[in-house]
């Protein structure tokens, strides 16, 4: 029976910890060593009987990230956003110097993402015009702090689907499937055609419309598509992943307004009505979308279609 290296107490089989070639009883081991609660690495305790068992690499990583604050938009208006549907966004950056200074100065959270060189900033659930104001505030601070984006970065929009019925979610997904070629013309060439993180739909219209249980089917889809239907299983949202990285508040807010208006309109349409509305020549689909978006957004995205290097199909 081994004895503890520190207190010399006999240790019953199975009760010893071996560290650095020595036997330790549980009490002495816990007094000298910590096991990191994140990665299980064993290291010397900095303070006797300290409960904060984090190794230096994990401490540094966790200190660099934080969750978004709770956002309660009481008495907000909906004049600008023109929809009562909640939403949320994720903004990826390539460079964000001194971003920790935002920890207590923004409602956004921050997390690491292996696909980018900066941090990803995540909003809480946002509502109405107050949500747009919060985004403008964050972008103003980010620009003042010299944050940047590059071609690796994306802007992801989550539109709330809580309270919808399966048939409404199916209609929304089908409408995005039919109009995807037009949405492509609103984003840059790389995000529209070459980015593996926001691909074109991997499924057919037949698969979408004929699946027996839409939610189960959506959960089985890849999240790396222009519209991530899988997000409903995790967040009760549909995630629009197609837009390029940006810290331009006008672009961010216009994209939100466009998708909220689109989702509000299409969720109560039948697949047959959506097919009649959107299926056919590209010009016909764009004409229908212009009416849904309204004159101001139609002008914004009409200019993008005219200037961006994306094919316009006959």
Digit-coded pLDDT (tens) for 27-48: 787 777 888 755 777 877 765 4
Give yes or no for residue 59 having a pLDDT over 70: no
CA distance 218 to 164: 15
Number of domains, the chain: 2
Burial of 112 (0-12, 13-18, 19+ CB in 10 A): exposed
On whether residue 74 sits in a domain, the answer given is: no
On whether residue 179 sits in a domain, the answer given is: yes
Give yes or no for residue 53 having a pLDDT over 50: yes
For residue 123, the tally of other CB atoms under 10 A from its CB is: 23
Where does residue 20 fall: left (phi above 0), alpha (psi -120 to 50 degrees), or beta otherwise? left
What range defines the domain where residue 212 resides?
87-307
CA distances (Å), origin 87, targets 123, 139, 158, 248, 259: 9, 17, 5, 18, 10
Map tokens 């989702």 to a residue: 263
Q: Are residues 37 and 97 in the same domain?
A: no
Please give the residue that has the higher pLDDT: either 25 or 176. 176
Q: Are residues 54 and 174 in the same domain?
A: no
CA distances (Å), origin 295, targets 60, 179, 223, 302: 49, 18, 32, 10
CA distance 292 to 302: 13
Mean pLDDT of the region 174-195: 95
Q: Are residues 264 and 115 in the same domain?
A: yes
Q: Are residues 111 and 189 in the same domain?
A: yes
Q: Could you tell me the pLDDT band of residue 216, with boundaries at 50, 70 and 90?
A: very high
Give yes or no for residue 49 having a pLDDT over 60: no
| pLDDT the model gives residue 312 | 40
Over residues 107-159, the pLDDT tens digits come to 999 999 988 999 999 999 999 999 999 999 999 999 999 999 999 999 999 99
Q: Are residues 129 and 39 in the same domain?
A: no
Q: Are residues 42 and 162 in the same domain?
A: no
Burial of 49 (0-12, 13-18, 19+ CB in 10 A): exposed
CATH number at residue 163: 3.30.590.20
On whether residue 71 sits in a domain, the answer given is: no
* Alpha-helix runs per DSSP H in 33-165: 56-63, 128-144
CA distance 154 to 224: 12
Over residues 258-296, the pLDDT tens digits come to 999 999 999 999 999 999 999 877 788 999 999 999 999
């Amino acid at each position: 029976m081994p004895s503890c290296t520190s207190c010399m107490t006999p240790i019953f089989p199975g009760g010893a910890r071996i560290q650095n070639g020595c036997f330790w009883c549980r009490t002495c081991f816990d007094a000298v060593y910590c096991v990191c609660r994140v990665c299980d690495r064993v290291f010397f305790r900095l303070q006797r009987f300290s409960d904060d068992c984090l190794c230096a690499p994990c401490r540094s990583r966790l200190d660099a990230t934080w969750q978004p604050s709770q956002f309660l938009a009481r008495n907000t208006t909906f004049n600008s956003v023109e929809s009562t549907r909640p939403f949320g966004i994720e903004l990826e950056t390539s460079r964000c110097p001194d971003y920790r200074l935002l920890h207590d100065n923004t409602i956004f959270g921050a997390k690491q993402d292996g696909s980018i060189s900066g941090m990803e900033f995540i909003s809480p659930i946002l509502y109405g015009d107050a949500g747009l104001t919060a985004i403008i505030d964050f972008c103003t601070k980010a620009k003042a702090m010299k944050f940047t984006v590059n071609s690796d970065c994306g802007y992801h929009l989550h539109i709330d689907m809580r309270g919808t019925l399966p048939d409404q979610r199916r209609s929304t997904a089908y409408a995005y499937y039919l109009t995807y070629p037009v949405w492509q013309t609103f984003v840059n060439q790389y995000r529209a055609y070459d980015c593996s993180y926001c691909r074109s739909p991997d499924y057919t219209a037949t698969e979408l419309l004929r699946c027996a249980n839409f939610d189960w089917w959506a959960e089985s889809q890849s999240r790396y598509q222009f519209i991530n239907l899988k997000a409903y299983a995790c967040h009760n949202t549909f995630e629009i992943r197609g837009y390029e990285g940006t810290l331009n508040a006008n672009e961010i807010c216009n994209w939100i307004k466009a998708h909220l208006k689109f989702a509000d309109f299409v969720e109560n349409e039948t697949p047959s009505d959506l097919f009649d509305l959107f299926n056919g020549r590209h010009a016909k689909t764009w004409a229908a979308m212009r009416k849904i978006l309204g004159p101001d957004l139609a002008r914004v995205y009409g200019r993008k279609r005219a200037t961006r290097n994306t094919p316009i199909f006959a």
